[in-house]
Structure 1
Amino acid sequence: MRHSPRSGDPYIEALVVKVTLQEVAAHASVSRATDSLVLRGTGRVSREMRNRVFTMTRGN
């Protein structure tokens, strides 16, 4: 998830952690394709998989 913080705001820049789909997928033990489907909100993905991906994206 490569979101750009507001330029020049050091507080916001310090809070932003950039991770890749591959990193989230690896930590959630899912494929990159599943990770992508969950984050885009498309496709048929089980609730368990969706929860694992969202837990990883929140940093829990």
Structure 2
Amino acid sequence: MGNVPSSPSRPTDSRGPGQVRAVGELTRDDHVAATVTTGLLRRPDVAFLAMSDDCPDYRLMA
């Protein structure tokens, strides 16, 4: 899978909004988004960060 960070970080901390936007573009199709999300949530650190975010940025869902 390439270069995977050794510890989880929030997308805006080290990767920048450009990469978050790029992932959003790649997952516009609902089936693709559901498949990718399922895979990401199987990663315990990712699931923990996603579920502990008490203020999600709904602007990314545009």
Q: Give TM-score scaled by structure 2 length.
A: 0.30
Point out which structure has higher relative CO (alpha carbons under 8 A, 6+ apart): 2
| Greater helix proportion | 2
Max Rg structure: 1
Q: Give TM-score scaled by structure 1 length.
A: 0.31
